[in-house]
Homo-oligomer: A and B are copies of this chain.
Amino acid sequence: MLDFWYEFASTYSFLAAERVEAVARERGVTVRWRPFLLGAIFKAQGYTTSPFNMYPVKGRYMWRDMERWCDRLGLPLVRPDPFPQNGLPAARVALALPEDVRPDFTKVIYRLQFCEGRAIDAEDTLREAVAAAGFGYETALVAAKTDLVKDALRKETAEAERLGIFGAPAFVTHDGELFWGNDRLEEACDWARGRR
Contact = CB atoms under 8 A, between A and B. Distances in A.
Nearest to A57: B166
A122 to B, nearest CB: 32
Interface in A143-196: 164, 166-167, 177-181, 183-184, 196
A130 B117 CA distance: 54
Contact of A61 (B58, B64, B178): B178
A183 B183 contact: yes
Question: What is the interface of chain A mostly: helix, strand, loop, or mixed?
Answer: helix
A60 interface: yes
A178 B58 contact: no
A116 interface: no
Interface string A76-114: 000000000000000000000000000000000000000
Given A183-B183, A183-B184, A184-B183, A57 B45 contact: yes
Interface of A: 45-46, 54-55, 57-58, 60-61, 64-65, 68, 71-72, 164, 166-167, 177-181, 183-184, 196
